[in-house]
Structure 1
Amino acid sequence: MSDFLAESYAWVKFLHVISVISWMAGLFYLPRLFVYHAEQIEAGTKTDGLFQVMERRLLRGIMNPAMIATWIFGLALVLTPGIVDWSMIWPWSKAASVLGMTWFHMWLAGRRREFAEGRNTRTGRRYRMMNEVPTLLMVVIVASVIVKF
Protein backbone atom coordinates (compact mmCIF):
# COMPACT_ATOMS: atom_id res chain seq x y z
CA MET A 1 0.00 0.00 0.00
CA SER A 2 2.78 2.45 0.89
CA ASP A 3 4.42 1.75 -2.50
CA PHE A 4 1.16 2.64 -4.25
CA LEU A 5 0.82 5.85 -2.23
CA ALA A 6 4.42 6.83 -2.92
CA GLU A 7 4.04 6.14 -6.66
CA SER A 8 0.77 8.06 -6.94
CA TYR A 9 1.81 10.92 -4.64
CA ALA A 10 1.71 13.65 -7.32
CA TRP A 11 -1.75 12.59 -8.51
CA VAL A 12 -3.11 12.33 -4.99
CA LYS A 13 -1.74 15.79 -4.17
CA PHE A 14 -3.26 17.14 -7.40
CA LEU A 15 -6.68 15.67 -6.51
CA HIS A 16 -6.37 16.97 -2.95
CA VAL A 17 -5.66 20.53 -4.12
CA ILE A 18 -8.56 20.46 -6.63
CA SER A 19 -10.89 19.16 -3.89
CA VAL A 20 -9.74 21.83 -1.44
CA ILE A 21 -10.32 24.60 -4.00
CA SER A 22 -13.86 23.33 -4.65
CA TRP A 23 -14.60 23.01 -0.95
CA MET A 24 -13.23 26.47 -0.17
CA ALA A 25 -15.28 28.04 -2.96
CA GLY A 26 -18.41 26.67 -1.32
CA LEU A 27 -17.30 27.67 2.18
CA PHE A 28 -16.86 31.24 0.92
CA TYR A 29 -20.06 31.38 -1.15
CA LEU A 30 -22.69 29.70 1.05
CA PRO A 31 -22.43 32.19 3.93
CA ARG A 32 -22.61 34.99 1.34
CA LEU A 33 -25.87 33.50 0.06
CA PHE A 34 -27.07 33.43 3.66
CA VAL A 35 -26.31 37.16 4.01
CA TYR A 36 -28.57 37.99 1.07
CA HIS A 37 -31.16 35.43 2.14
CA ALA A 38 -31.35 36.87 5.67
CA GLU A 39 -31.35 40.53 4.62
CA GLN A 40 -33.34 40.63 1.41
CA ILE A 41 -35.68 37.64 1.20
CA GLU A 42 -39.00 37.13 2.94
CA ALA A 43 -39.73 33.55 4.09
CA GLY A 44 -42.27 31.69 1.98
CA THR A 45 -41.80 33.77 -1.18
CA LYS A 46 -40.79 32.50 -4.61
CA THR A 47 -37.33 34.05 -4.13
CA ASP A 48 -37.02 32.27 -0.78
CA GLY A 49 -37.62 29.00 -2.60
CA LEU A 50 -35.01 29.89 -5.21
CA PHE A 51 -32.41 30.69 -2.54
CA GLN A 52 -33.19 27.43 -0.76
CA VAL A 53 -32.60 25.48 -3.99
CA MET A 54 -29.29 27.28 -4.60
CA GLU A 55 -28.13 26.73 -1.02
CA ARG A 56 -29.12 23.05 -1.02
CA ARG A 57 -27.47 22.33 -4.36
CA LEU A 58 -24.29 24.15 -3.38
CA LEU A 59 -24.06 22.24 -0.11
CA ARG A 60 -25.06 18.79 -1.34
CA GLY A 61 -23.80 18.91 -4.91
CA ILE A 62 -20.47 20.66 -4.49
CA MET A 63 -19.44 21.23 -0.88
CA ASN A 64 -20.21 17.80 0.60
CA PRO A 65 -18.47 15.82 -2.18
CA ALA A 66 -15.54 18.27 -2.16
CA MET A 67 -15.14 17.97 1.62
CA ILE A 68 -15.23 14.17 1.45
CA ALA A 69 -12.70 14.13 -1.40
CA THR A 70 -10.47 16.59 0.48
CA TRP A 71 -10.47 14.31 3.51
CA ILE A 72 -9.85 11.12 1.48
CA PHE A 73 -6.97 12.55 -0.55
CA GLY A 74 -5.58 14.40 2.49
CA LEU A 75 -5.52 11.21 4.55
CA ALA A 76 -3.86 9.41 1.63
CA LEU A 77 -1.15 12.09 1.67
CA VAL A 78 -0.72 11.71 5.43
CA LEU A 79 -0.31 7.96 5.00
CA THR A 80 2.32 8.38 2.27
CA PRO A 81 5.70 7.50 3.82
CA GLY A 82 8.09 10.39 4.36
CA ILE A 83 5.59 13.19 3.76
CA VAL A 84 4.61 14.22 7.28
CA ASP A 85 7.02 14.75 10.15
CA TRP A 86 4.75 14.56 13.19
CA SER A 87 7.49 15.94 15.44
CA MET A 88 6.99 19.36 13.84
CA ILE A 89 4.18 21.80 14.65
CA TRP A 90 2.80 22.28 11.11
CA PRO A 91 0.93 18.97 10.72
CA TRP A 92 -0.83 19.57 14.03
CA SER A 93 -1.79 23.16 13.20
CA LYS A 94 -3.03 22.02 9.79
CA ALA A 95 -5.00 19.14 11.32
CA ALA A 96 -6.61 21.43 13.90
CA SER A 97 -7.53 23.93 11.18
CA VAL A 98 -9.00 21.22 8.93
CA LEU A 99 -11.11 20.05 11.87
CA GLY A 100 -12.19 23.68 12.33
CA MET A 101 -13.05 23.90 8.64
CA THR A 102 -15.11 20.72 8.92
CA TRP A 103 -16.93 22.12 11.97
CA PHE A 104 -17.69 25.29 9.99
CA HIS A 105 -19.03 23.19 7.11
CA MET A 106 -21.38 21.40 9.52
CA TRP A 107 -22.41 24.74 11.08
CA LEU A 108 -23.35 25.98 7.61
CA ALA A 109 -25.35 22.81 6.96
CA GLY A 110 -27.30 23.47 10.14
CA ARG A 111 -28.01 27.05 9.10
CA ARG A 112 -29.19 25.85 5.67
CA ARG A 113 -31.64 23.54 7.41
CA GLU A 114 -32.92 26.47 9.46
CA PHE A 115 -33.55 28.51 6.31
CA ALA A 116 -35.32 25.53 4.72
CA GLU A 117 -37.57 25.23 7.78
CA GLY A 118 -38.20 28.99 7.93
CA ARG A 119 -36.43 29.23 11.30
CA ASN A 120 -33.42 31.45 10.57
CA THR A 121 -32.81 33.87 13.44
CA ARG A 122 -29.37 35.16 12.45
CA THR A 123 -28.75 38.49 10.79
CA GLY A 124 -26.85 39.21 7.62
CA ARG A 125 -24.19 40.84 9.79
CA ARG A 126 -23.69 37.59 11.70
CA TYR A 127 -23.25 35.66 8.45
CA ARG A 128 -20.78 38.31 7.23
CA MET A 129 -18.70 37.83 10.37
CA MET A 130 -18.85 34.04 10.10
CA ASN A 131 -17.77 34.32 6.48
CA GLU A 132 -14.31 35.27 7.78
CA VAL A 133 -13.84 31.91 9.56
CA PRO A 134 -12.78 29.92 6.48
CA THR A 135 -10.38 32.69 5.46
CA LEU A 136 -8.59 32.61 8.81
CA LEU A 137 -8.42 28.81 8.78
CA MET A 138 -7.16 28.83 5.19
CA VAL A 139 -4.33 31.21 6.15
CA VAL A 140 -3.25 28.85 8.96
CA ILE A 141 -3.47 25.80 6.68
CA VAL A 142 -1.51 27.35 3.81
CA ALA A 143 1.13 28.79 6.15
CA SER A 144 1.45 25.43 7.89
CA VAL A 145 1.98 23.52 4.65
CA ILE A 146 4.18 26.03 2.85
CA VAL A 147 6.32 27.39 5.71
CA LYS A 148 6.31 24.11 7.68
CA PHE A 149 7.02 25.73 11.04
Structure 2
Amino acid sequence: MGYLYIKAFHIFFVTSWFAGLFYLPRLFVNLAMAKPGDESQRLLEMARKLYRFMMPLSLMSIVFGLWLWLGYGIAGGWLHAKLALVMLLLGFQYYCGRIYRDFEAGRNQRSHVWYRVFNEIPTFILLAIVILVVVKPF
Protein backbone atom coordinates (compact mmCIF):
# COMPACT_ATOMS: atom_id res chain seq x y z
CA MET A 1 0.00 0.00 0.00
CA GLY A 2 2.83 2.43 0.85
CA TYR A 3 4.40 1.75 -2.53
CA LEU A 4 1.29 2.99 -4.33
CA TYR A 5 1.21 6.23 -2.31
CA ILE A 6 4.89 6.89 -3.02
CA LYS A 7 4.30 6.17 -6.70
CA ALA A 8 1.25 8.49 -6.75
CA PHE A 9 3.22 11.33 -5.17
CA HIS A 10 6.08 10.75 -7.61
CA ILE A 11 3.69 10.97 -10.56
CA PHE A 12 2.03 14.08 -9.10
CA PHE A 13 5.31 15.96 -8.62
CA VAL A 14 6.70 14.86 -11.99
CA THR A 15 3.52 16.04 -13.73
CA SER A 16 3.65 19.38 -11.93
CA TRP A 17 7.35 19.79 -12.71
CA PHE A 18 6.72 19.09 -16.38
CA ALA A 19 4.00 21.73 -16.48
CA GLY A 20 6.72 24.22 -15.60
CA LEU A 21 9.22 22.68 -18.02
CA PHE A 22 6.66 23.05 -20.80
CA TYR A 23 5.54 26.58 -19.94
CA LEU A 24 8.78 28.37 -19.00
CA PRO A 25 10.33 28.05 -22.49
CA ARG A 26 7.02 29.27 -23.91
CA LEU A 27 7.43 32.40 -21.83
CA PHE A 28 10.88 32.78 -23.42
CA VAL A 29 9.24 32.70 -26.87
CA ASN A 30 6.96 35.54 -25.80
CA LEU A 31 9.82 37.46 -24.20
CA ALA A 32 11.89 37.16 -27.38
CA MET A 33 8.96 38.59 -29.38
CA ALA A 34 8.16 41.41 -26.92
CA LYS A 35 9.47 44.87 -27.56
CA PRO A 36 11.19 46.66 -24.66
CA GLY A 37 8.64 48.33 -22.44
CA ASP A 38 5.84 46.11 -23.70
CA GLU A 39 4.64 43.34 -21.48
CA SER A 40 8.21 42.15 -20.98
CA GLN A 41 8.30 43.11 -17.28
CA ARG A 42 5.18 41.08 -16.59
CA LEU A 43 6.54 38.14 -18.58
CA LEU A 44 9.86 38.33 -16.71
CA GLU A 45 8.01 38.28 -13.41
CA MET A 46 5.98 35.26 -14.52
CA ALA A 47 9.16 33.46 -15.63
CA ARG A 48 10.89 34.24 -12.33
CA LYS A 49 7.99 32.95 -10.25
CA LEU A 50 7.57 29.84 -12.38
CA TYR A 51 11.28 29.00 -12.25
CA ARG A 52 11.30 29.38 -8.46
CA PHE A 53 8.15 27.22 -8.21
CA MET A 54 9.72 24.50 -10.39
CA MET A 55 12.69 24.02 -8.07
CA PRO A 56 10.82 22.32 -5.19
CA LEU A 57 8.74 20.33 -7.69
CA SER A 58 11.88 18.89 -9.27
CA LEU A 59 13.34 18.17 -5.85
CA MET A 60 10.21 16.34 -4.68
CA SER A 61 10.10 14.38 -7.95
CA ILE A 62 13.62 13.20 -7.31
CA VAL A 63 12.98 12.43 -3.63
CA PHE A 64 9.97 10.23 -4.39
CA GLY A 65 11.73 8.66 -7.38
CA LEU A 66 14.72 7.76 -5.22
CA TRP A 67 12.34 6.40 -2.59
CA LEU A 68 10.80 4.12 -5.21
CA TRP A 69 14.20 3.05 -6.52
CA LEU A 70 16.02 2.49 -3.24
CA GLY A 71 13.10 1.67 -0.96
CA TYR A 72 11.25 -0.74 -3.21
CA GLY A 73 14.07 -2.17 -5.30
CA ILE A 74 12.96 -0.96 -8.70
CA ALA A 75 15.77 -1.85 -11.09
CA GLY A 76 16.66 -2.62 -14.67
CA GLY A 77 18.54 -1.20 -17.60
CA TRP A 78 15.57 0.99 -18.47
CA LEU A 79 15.97 2.71 -15.10
CA HIS A 80 19.54 3.76 -15.90
CA ALA A 81 18.36 5.28 -19.18
CA LYS A 82 15.51 7.05 -17.35
CA LEU A 83 17.90 8.44 -14.75
CA ALA A 84 20.14 9.76 -17.53
CA LEU A 85 17.13 11.53 -19.05
CA VAL A 86 16.19 12.97 -15.65
CA MET A 87 19.73 14.35 -15.38
CA LEU A 88 19.24 15.92 -18.81
CA LEU A 89 16.01 17.52 -17.56
CA LEU A 90 17.81 18.95 -14.54
CA GLY A 91 20.40 20.41 -16.92
CA PHE A 92 17.58 21.79 -19.07
CA GLN A 93 16.01 23.40 -16.02
CA TYR A 94 19.34 24.91 -14.97
CA TYR A 95 19.85 26.25 -18.49
CA CYS A 96 16.37 27.80 -18.35
CA GLY A 97 17.56 29.68 -15.27
CA ARG A 98 20.52 31.01 -17.22
CA ILE A 99 18.22 32.07 -20.07
CA TYR A 100 15.93 33.85 -17.61
CA ARG A 101 18.88 35.76 -16.14
CA ASP A 102 19.98 36.75 -19.66
CA PHE A 103 16.52 38.14 -20.40
CA GLU A 104 16.49 39.94 -17.08
CA ALA A 105 19.86 41.56 -17.83
CA GLY A 106 18.85 42.43 -21.41
CA ARG A 107 21.43 40.04 -22.91
CA ASN A 108 19.17 37.78 -24.97
CA GLN A 109 20.68 37.11 -28.39
CA ARG A 110 18.29 34.43 -29.67
CA SER A 111 15.14 34.71 -31.74
CA HIS A 112 11.67 33.52 -30.85
CA VAL A 113 12.15 30.77 -33.47
CA TRP A 114 15.10 29.34 -31.53
CA TYR A 115 12.99 29.33 -28.36
CA ARG A 116 10.14 27.58 -30.19
CA VAL A 117 12.50 24.71 -31.00
CA PHE A 118 14.02 24.80 -27.50
CA ASN A 119 10.47 24.60 -26.13
CA GLU A 120 10.04 21.10 -27.60
CA ILE A 121 12.99 19.45 -25.81
CA PRO A 122 11.09 18.45 -22.64
CA THR A 123 8.29 16.98 -24.77
CA PHE A 124 10.63 14.51 -26.43
CA ILE A 125 12.35 13.68 -23.16
CA LEU A 126 8.98 13.00 -21.52
CA LEU A 127 7.99 10.71 -24.38
CA ALA A 128 11.23 8.76 -24.01
CA ILE A 129 10.78 8.47 -20.24
CA VAL A 130 7.19 7.26 -20.55
CA ILE A 131 8.25 4.63 -23.10
CA LEU A 132 11.09 3.49 -20.84
CA VAL A 133 8.85 3.23 -17.77
CA VAL A 134 5.89 1.54 -19.47
CA VAL A 135 7.59 -0.68 -22.04
CA LYS A 136 10.84 -1.36 -20.12
CA PRO A 137 12.64 -2.27 -23.35
CA PHE A 138 15.81 -3.43 -21.57
TM-score by length of 1: 0.87
Separation in 2 of the partners of 1:148 and 1:52?
A: 40
TM superposition shift of 1:10: 1.1
Aligned match of 1:32 = 26
Aligned counterpart for 2:94 among listed residues 86, 97, 106: 106
Counterpart of 1:9 in structure 2: which amino acid? Y
Q: Percent identity?
A: 39
User: Can you give the 5+ residue segments of structure 2 that lack an aligned partner in the other structure?
Assistant: none
* Residues 1:133 and 2:121 are matched in the alignment: yes
TM superposition shift of 1:46: 5.4
* Residues 1:73 and 2:68 are matched in the alignment: no
Separation in 1 of the partners of 2:101 and 2:55?
A: 14
Larger Rg: 1
- The RMSD of aligned alpha carbons is 1.2
Aligned residue for 1:80, secondary structure, equals: helix
Aligned match of 2:83 = 95
Separation in 2 of the partners of 1:135 and 1:114?
A: 24
TM superposition shift of 1:42: 2.2
TM-score by length of 2: 0.93
Aligned match of 1:117 = 105
1:19-70 Cα shifts (integer Å, max 9, x gaps): 011111111111111101101x123x25221111100011102x11111111
Aligned match of 1:83 = 74
Separation in 1 of the partners of 2:63 and 2:73?
A: 18
Counterpart of 1:72 in structure 2: which amino acid? V
TM superposition shift of 1:82: 3.3
Counterpart of 2:60 in structure 1: which amino acid? A
Q: Is the Cα contact below 8 Å between 2:85 and 2:125 reproduced in 1?
A: yes
Counterpart of 2:30 in structure 1: which amino acid? Y
